[in-house]
Structure 1
Amino acid sequence: MSLPKAELHLHIEGTLEPELAFELAARNGVALPYADTDELREAYRFEDLQSFLNLYYELMAVLRTESDFEELADAYLARAAAQGVRHAEIFFDPQAHISRGVEMGTVVEGLGRALDRGEAVHGVSTRLIMCFLRDESAESAMETLEAAKPYLGAGRIVGVGLDSAEVGHPPRKFREVYEAAAAMGLRRVAHAGEEGPPAYIVEALDVLGVERIDHGLRCMEDPELVARLVRDRVPLTLCPLSNVRLRAVDVLAEHPLVAMLDAGLVCTVNSDDPAYFGGYAGDNFDAVREALGLSRERLRELARNSFVAAFLDDDEERRARYLAEVEAYEFGG
């Protein structure tokens, strides 16, 4: 679906399509344990979050140089633009690269080359958000934040996030890191309430001071939390196809998106790790429209929410322009 939208929950490493993975593996002399792209694509089937993460980190081995990261980001922007994405706030996982000898600068400068020309080439404005791996130590996260200092600010890293294995790694573990990030003027988001309990969402808000909740699906188990999220207009970056692939919901027809919208929650629809989960942003919109019977106005509401929730406070004129595009969009059929 080409309805204009912002994508606010997108892991750039999760856009690594099998074809590019094999191309980069050959370029960098990395042996993949798969015969061909078809066999690799067959491996993109998961029982839960951890089974996905195992493959996700395995394939990162092919990303070695600035050019690799540039090519990865450019390929994502081309696909996203074709599906109506006008603005993307892109996550990356520096610890997963630093731990295998790839320096922060290699990752950030490589991604940055593609993002710098993203609007001119693809018509997509961008922001870059550095995520901490929650199953690593808080000390490692703080070291990563220190390593990122040369790349903070306009044109590069504007915020921090928290991702990877959620269960057993409560947000409070990263209190000091988020306090330091806030002091640096960085925007703050965190994954919470995907596999973890609603209490993790509360901690992300109260302890980390986040401005958006990534996923947040399980907030519906706590009516008081839902009322708070509605009252405070805290955006949720939902990822429907991801939720099905990782068994957070059994089938898309059972996804609580409609109930969440009916409750007044500021929901957005995003692709998470689209190469692994079966679709990019527009594919997710198409999927929920079909499975949940969403009206055109509901789809427009989701698109509006995405731009309202975007970190565009420094460019309200741009936000207004994107919102006008949503209102002017004509659905086909």
Structure 2
Amino acid sequence: MSLTTLIHQIPKAELHLHIEGTLTPELMWCLAEKHGITLPYKSVEEIRQAYLFEDLQSFLDLYYAGADVLRDEDDFFELMWAYLERCHEQNIVHAEVMFDPQTHLHRGIEFDVFISGFTRAINKAKDEFGLSVYLILSFLRHLPESDAIETLRIARPYLDKVHAFGLDSSELGHPPAKFERVFNQVKELGFKIVAHAGEEGPPSYIWEAIELLNVDRVDHGVRCQEDEALLDYLKEHQIPLTVCPLSNLKLCVVDDMKQHNIKWLLERGLRVTVNSDDPTYFGGFLNENYVAIVDALDINAQQLKQLVINSVLSSFLPEDEKRTIMSAIEDVYSQHCN
């Protein structure tokens, strides 16, 4: 069995996925027609060509523009359902999905509209595929902390649908320290916390995420390699890093996949995981990210297994459910070895 075949067969978890970043050019076009929205593109192919960008900010500009086609509950259902169908195809058995309520609230879309669409798709995927999905409510760091605090207030009637809180969007100039108060409130409510840090931002942002926000996971975190003390701390405490290889390549965090440090971090003993981030914009869903690093970095079957296991261990699933997935992983590897 080739490693590519193994990647497709092994049950996996995905921990770093922005649902708004799964919007395909086809769905964008379809929803724009549905709502009578005039896009600055003449065809689906023109939209696809627009998915070529130079850096994080140019991507975010397109990302937020694309989100404008999401208007009613059915739109959010279709967005989530399309991703969860892809999960089923790629043998992803658990997904922890980020969503950006401020992106929609600022457009006049009520919380009940998008959360109802998301949860309807999640329940359908559980019934039809046995897929488990946790929602991560993410604050936009380019906006003031006061806006995040207000978003948390608005979200309170819906917190039974949320498993964790996160911090995303433009990293440079917006350190985690900016959001210390709102994440103190989140912690008091008993939720898990994740935050983007060390993608474009420096290692000091990772330290802030750990020490000020008390994160349970660091999203991205690849620039930890620049700080020896941070590497030692991440290894000692086994703080997970949700690494997104194709995203790093597309946004020029690395110039070539052969330069990516995920294998080096794995060999250093850090709990790194593989994820797709914004897959329709960055050129691949979860399996494509695994294939990309296996091809570029000469990752072997045991290292691949460790990356998959790391994702399960780093999830917010109950321990018994983690054990069930781990057992299924071992079964696939037993067949592979035979």
What range is the shorter-chain TM-score in?
over 0.9
Runs of 4+ that moved beyond 6 A = none
**Unaligned residue ranges in structure 1 (runs of 5+):** none
Aligned-residue sequence identity (percent) comes to 47
For the 8 Å contact 1:191–1:215, the answer to whether it is kept is yes
CA gap of 1:332–1:36, structure 2 versus 1, over 3 A, is farther
Q: CA deviation at 1:332?
A: 9.8
The 5 Å alignment of 1:182-261 reads 182-261=187-266
| 1:10, distance to aligned residue in structure 2 (A) | 0.1
What residue number does 2:3 align with? none
Distance 1:6 1:148 in 2: 26
Shift of 1:229: 0.3
SS at match of 1:152: helix
Q: What TM-score comes out, normalization by structure 1 length?
A: 0.97
Within 5 Å, give how 1:277-316 maps onto structure 2: 277-312=282-317, 315-316=318-319
1:48 counterpart letter in structure 2: D
Shift of 1:331: 4.5
Instruction: Tell me the distance in 2 between the aligned counterparts of 1:88 and 1:229.
Output: 23
- Name the SS of the counterpart of 1:46 in structure 2: coil
1:227-249 CA-to-partner distances (Å, cap 9, x unmatched) read 00000010000000000000000
Q: Which residue of 2 aligns with 1:24?
A: 31
Alignment RMSD (CA, Å):
1.2
**Partner SS state of residue 219, structure 2:** strand
* 1:117 Cα offset (Å): 2.1
Q: CA deviation at 1:252?
A: 0.6
Q: How does 1:1-333 map to 2 (within 5 A)?
A: 1-2=7-8, 3-153=10-160, 156-312=161-317, 315-329=318-332, 330-331=335-336
Provide, for residues 218-272 of structure 1, a one-character-per-residue CA deviation record: whole Å limited to 9, x for no partner: 0000010000000001000000000000000001111001110011000000000
Classify the secondary structure of the residue corresponding to 2:287.
Answer: helix
C-alpha separation in 2, matches of 1:122 and 1:254: 37
Cα separation, partners in 2 of 1:92 and 1:77, compared to 1, 3 Å = same
Partner AA of 1:4 in structure 2 = P
Query: The residue matched to 2:184 in structure 1 has which SS?
Result: helix
Looking at structure 1, the residues matched to 185 and 312 of structure 2 have their Cα atoms a distance apart, in angstroms, of 27
Structure 2: runs of 5+ lacking an equivalent: 1-6
Report the alpha carbon displacement of residue 119 of structure 1 after superposing the two structures with TM: 2.0
Structure number with the higher helix fraction is: 2
Q: TM-score, normalised by structure 2?
A: 0.96
Q: How many residues align?
A: 329
Q: What is the alpha-carbon distance in structure 2 between the residues aligned to residue 331 and residue 254 of structure 1?
A: 29
Correspondence for 2:4 = none
